[in-house]
Structure 1
Amino acid sequence: MEINDLTPAEERVWRAFSRGESVDFRTETDEDAAAGAGWGAERTVRAAVLRTLLLNGPQEDGEIATLSLAGARVSGMLDLQYATVDHPARLRHCYFDEVPRFYACRLRELNLSESVLPGLTSHAVQVEGVLRMTRSRFRGPVRLGGAQIAGSLYMESAEFSAPDAAEPVLQLNQATVGDDVHAPGLKAHGEIRLNGATVNGSVNLTDARLRRPGQVALDAVTLGVEGDLLLRQVDVEGWIGLRGARVAGRLDLSYARLSNPGDMALRASSCTVGELWLRRGEPLGGGLNLRRAQVEVLFVEPEKLPDTVRLDGLGYTTLTPHEPAERRLPMLERDDDRYVPHAYEQLTAAYRRIGDDDAARVVQLAKQRRHRHTLPWYGRLWGRVQDATVGYGFRPLRAAVWLLSLMAVGSVSYALHHPPALKPDEAPAFNPVFYTLDLLLPVISFGQEGAFAPKGPYQYLSYVLVLTGWILATTVVAGVTRTVSRQ
């Protein structure tokens, strides 16, 4: 392409390129690039001209050639697939008539900030520096699957939509980002796909607005993040998928609003997270799936949890903030009415690690009561007896109260009505207290029970004392056995 073939606007861009100068066609600094379809020839640049500059543009000694353009309408397709571009490309505040194509392209730097585009095709693109799409607006799919970005990816307040496309509006699957994905305030009407991506820094989606009701809004299956995944104050219609993801730092859902009624709102099964924060704001508007997840610090406020919580196989080291066991137990009973013993053991271990043995006992008692509902009728009956008498061994003082009460009843009854001796000449002196203890305690013998034989109603009282003594002894032994085995 010769300079004589250029329009005045294109010639201005051509001459500025070799000197690394910027060209800004804007008449006002705050004008909206969405009006670019109506811009005339005085600020229209053909995509073919930009392609020629980036691949074979003129250069001057001592200058760094740079394409820096703002406020232009780019007509035609900017096709750089498989190309190697050694110059920074900054196309800010521009309006693109057609979808740019950077498939498998190698770039120094690409800046599309505050531009309006009908989409972007950049599978497997390689960017040596940063890729900027700050406040850009895309009206079609942005395809960055398999991209390799050495620096950061900036998408602050960017907007993604594709009304006529069935594919995700933003595709970063299998992408590699050397630093951060910085996208606070991002807006997406459709799916964002991050599955299999690797981010060596943090992913910041604070204040993002994601809309895909009833379907996956953020697909981040097997995502790897070396820093934090920040979803603070996000507003999501649809569900977030984090199955198998690995977040070395903090997964922060503080003040997050997730809405997917009738199904899971957050699916994070089998993921590995340094810290998971579920705090502040309204409860999740849908279920929470943390099955088989591994979390070092679980920061969960009870008020944030939804009606359905799946915790089977969840492992965590620290549970914070410290709450009474009674406030934590409801989350263990929201797994579709299933009994999940592992969840109770994890909560018990968390309380024991901080020395709250009373709370640990409350959790274990709740576990036994929950388990009782899964037993046949005779098991449930025996469980109720253990619960009422000694609280499954976790309420040992109850046994003492029962024993003292029964001993008092028996002692008074037999003191008023001495049972006759079987062998009057050989029987020891009758003692109502030790006679009652002989009946209650199945192992210890004071020589009273075998020497006297009550009659009438007092004989039936002796049967009751013997039976309740065995029940109390059995439940106490069972409770002590559980305590010893835990220690």
Structure 2
Amino acid sequence: MLSYDELTPPERELWDAFPEGQRVDLRTGVPADDRVADGGRWGPGRMVRAAVIAALLLGANTAQPGAVACLRLAGARITGRLNLAGAQIAHALWLEDCSFEESVDLLGASTQTIVITGSRTPGIEADAARIEGNLDLRRSVMEGGFSSPFNHENTALSLSDAHVTGGVLLNDAEFNVPGGWAVSAGGLAVEGGVFCKGGFTARGEVRLVGAQLPGGLFMQGAHLASPGPHGVALSLDNAVVSTLNLSKGFTANGTLRLRGAQIADDLTLEGAVLNGPPDGGGPALFAPLMQAVEFRLTPARTPSAPLDLRGAQVSYLHENQRSWPDVVELDGFGYGSIKSAEAGERQDGAGYRESAAHRVAWLRRSPGYSPQPYEQLAGWYRTIGHDDDARRVLLAKQRHRRRTLALPARAWGHLLDATVGYGYRPWLAGIWLLTLTLLGSLIFGAHTPSPVKPGEGAPFQPVVYTLDLLIPIGGLGQRTAWYWTGNAPQWLAYLLVALGWVLTTALIAGVTRTLQRN
């Protein structure tokens, strides 16, 4: 137990100020002398033992009647390990521009508001802690990290299974644990939101697996400079978040993992930069089974690594020309509506045709064939009343599918495509029929056939005769009434009969497919 006589002058000043919550400021006022990066060189006049801080927070100097005790300290060099594991702390802790020699231990502690701003520390361990108020670490720098039996990786800030009734404020903070975990907060529950805006920088994975964040996660302008041990920059697997804002220059050099995340409102990547892992070994966004209402996939530039959205479900998808990289996994991805973020997109028929072509292009970027993304997009076009675009999408689906078939099936597919556009362009059959009718009429009109029964039947009509050859069902009376003695007209007649059967079969198959889909 510490006695007053053992305290150094700055410790006595802190001891006397604590009962009334007064601040002790050990800063010199000279910026060059107050840099926390040089805190290890601060002399005895600015040194405070961590044991003194712990003793005060645990009731070593009782509060004065009519005052609220609070530990407020600025510009101190804190020596030793601040160990408050399992403690019941009834007082707020405010530390500003302080330099810690060792990490802070709040494992399982129950505390009031904790403010450690503009300071430098190896790390903070607060697994399973309960904080009644805010955890404010703005402008602080944590580097080197620590390891414990509860974390497999070196960690700067550990909040696994912690509960914060206020907010977690990390704006302009810097976490430097390359190859480790900048933040390890699996199962974290924060009622007031997590704020990592401005100059927030993390070298190491920000890990929020299974976190409960009803107040949202805001990372506008944050810079996730290097990934963790598995190439992951930010992990929110199975997290429940009201709003996830990764916008306004948010940069991730590593994978964003959102597998199974549930976002009650808005997920925005507007103006973000998604670089993916530096080694190129993983996707820029890995979000299978993710759920969101608004999904703003409008980054500042095209992601440099694949996107995986298999099984994800969103109500409103916002996309633009920069949304889709060369490889996109979309099997099972569902959306209620698409909104293009490109300024000036035309809303007439031509504008929508351009949009359909653009959107089909990103469907084709899937590494394998899956019909669902095409059916999803076509269904949306039908919903908004653009049946022509829906048919374009379904035609693109058949062409994509054709590449996966065996050679005979591919050949038949090419024939269906050329003749009737797989049934989505039935007017092609009319063009073929008209072309062959004109060709046959010209050639047959230049020759004279012989009647089967001289003096009987109608006179020879080249156009009707050609149509009679092309139409395999029924008859117009010309084909059976005349025959050719020359080889050229006879072979043309045989060819027209064959083409008639092929054209009719393709037309029936294509139209049947269309009717079944619709």
Which interval holds the TM-score relative to the shorter structure? over 0.9
Q: Deviations over 1:277-312 (max 9, x none)?
A: 222422111111111111222212133322111112
Which of 49, 55, 59 in structure 1 is aligned with 2:58?
A: 55
Identify the match of residue 446 of structure 1 among 476, 497, 503.
476
State the distance in 2 between where 1:385 and 1:442 align: 18
Structure 2: where are the runs of 5+ without partners? 146-155, 341-351
Q: Mean alpha-carbon deviation: is it higher for 227-236 or for 313-322? A: 227-236
Q: Which moved more, 1:28-37 or 1:285-294?
A: 28-37
2:428 to 377, 398, 417: 398
- Let me know the Cα RMSD of the aligned residues: 2.0
2:512 is the counterpart of 1:481: yes
1:91 partner SS: strand
Provide the rounded CA distance (Å) in 1 between the counterparts of 2:369 and 2:363.
8
CA distance in 2 between counterparts of 1:464 and 1:40 reads 102
Q: Give 2:301's match in structure 1, choosing from 275, 282, 287.
A: 282
State how far apart, in whole Å, the 2-side matches of 1:109 and 1:2 are. Answer: 27
Q: Which amino acid aligns with 1:460?
A: W
TM-score by length of 1: 0.94
Report the counterpart of residue 154 of structure 1 in structure 2: 169
Report the counterpart of residue 83 of structure 1 in structure 2: 87
More deviation, 80-89/317-326: 317-326
1:263 matched residue in structure 2: 282
The answer to which of 90-99 and 354-363 deviates more is: 354-363
1:411-450 matched pairs, under 5 angstroms? 411-424=441-454, 426-450=456-480
Conserved? CA contact 1:233–1:253, under 8 Å: no
Match of residue 172 from structure 1: 185
- The residue that corresponds to 1:21 in the other structure is 22
Aligned counterparts of 1:263 and 1:103: Cα–Cα separation in 2: 34
| CA shift for structure 1 position 417 | 3.0
Give deviations 1:121-179, integer Å, cap 9, x for gaps. Answer: 1111101111100011111121111110111100001111135xx64121111111112
Pair 1:330 & 2:372 matched: no
The 2-side partners of 1:477 and 1:110 are apart by 74
Partner of residue 95, structure 1:
99
Return the alpha-carbon distance in structure 1 between the equivalents of residues 219 and 159 of structure 2: 18
Shift of 1:197: 0.9
Q: In 2, Cα distance between the equivalents of 1:325 and 1:347?
A: 9
Asked if 1:182 corresponds to 2:195, the answer is yes
Task: Letter of the 1:410 partner, please give it.
Answer: G
Match of 2:149 in 1: none
Deviates more, 1:41-50 or 1:106-115: 41-50
Q: What number of residue pairs does the alignment pair up?
A: 484
Q: Which residue number in structure 2 is paired with residue 463 of structure 1? A: 494
Map 1:105-120 onto structure 2 (within 5 A).
105-120=109-124
Worse overlay, 88-97 or 300-309 = 300-309
2:262 equivalent in structure 1:
246
Mapping for residues 30-49 of structure 1, pairs under 5 Å: 31-49=34-52
Say if 1:77 and 1:98, in contact at 8 Å, map to a contact too.
yes
**Alpha-carbon distance in structure 2 between the residues aligned to 1:190 and 1:158:** 13
CA shift in 2, pair 1:230/1:211, >3 Å = closer
Equivalent of residue 130 in structure 2, options 119, 126, 129: 126
Q: How far apart are 1:116 and its partner, in Å?
A: 0.7
| Pairing of 1:302-313 with structure 2 (within 5 A) | 302-313=321-332
- Residues of 1 paired with 2:516 and 2:248: CA distance? 43
Instruction: Kindly state the Cα deviation for residue 468 of structure 1 after the two structures are TM-superposed.
Output: 1.4
Offset of residue 425 of structure 1: 5.3
Q: Distance in 1 between matches of 2:213 and 2:236?
A: 12
Query: 2:29 & 2:273 partners in 1: Cα distance?
Result: 37
Runs of 5+ unmatched residues, structure 1: none
Amino acid at match of 1:275: E
Distance in 2 (CA, whole Å) between partners of 1:303 and 1:237 is: 18
- Residue 9 of structure 2 is matched in structure 1 by 8
Partner AA of 2:192 in structure 1: D
* Shift in alpha-carbon separation, 1:258–1:29, aligned structure 2, 3 A: farther
Aligned residue for 1:162, secondary structure, equals: strand
1:198 and 2:212 aligned: yes
Is the Cα contact below 8 Å between 1:407 and 1:437 reproduced in 2? yes
For residue 252 of structure 2, the aligned residue among 211, 226, 236 is 236
- What's the secondary structure of 1:446's corresponding residue? coil
Q: Could you tell me how far apart the structure 2 residues matched to 1:324 and 1:231 are?
A: 25
Worse-matched range after superposition: 107-116 or 255-264 = 255-264
What displacement does 1:40 show? 2.1
% identity of equivalent residues = 39
Q: Deviations over 1:387-406 (max 9, x none)?
A: 22222222222211111121
Give the SS at the match of 1:307. Answer: coil
Instruction: Please say if residues 143 and 171 of structure 1, whose CA atoms lie closer than 8 Å, have aligned partners that are also in contact.
Output: yes
- TM-score under structure 2 length normalisation: 0.89
Is 1:224 matched with 2:240?
yes
Question: Which has the larger displacement, 3-12 or 177-186?
Answer: 3-12
Query: In the TM superposition, what whole-angstrom CA distance separates every residue of 1:388-444 from its partner, at most 9, and x where no partner exists?
Result: 222222222221111112112223333343432323355344333322222111224
SS of residue matched to 1:173: coil
Moved over 4 A (4+): none
Greater alpha carbon shift after TM alignment, 222-231 vs 458-467: 222-231
Tell me the SS of whatever aligns to 1:411: helix
- Contact 2:450 2:482 (8 Å CA) reproduced: yes
Provide the C-alpha distance between the structure 2 equivalents of 1:280 and 1:42, rounded to a whole number of angstroms. 51
SS at match of 1:84: coil
Displacement after TM superposition at 1:29 (Å): 7.8
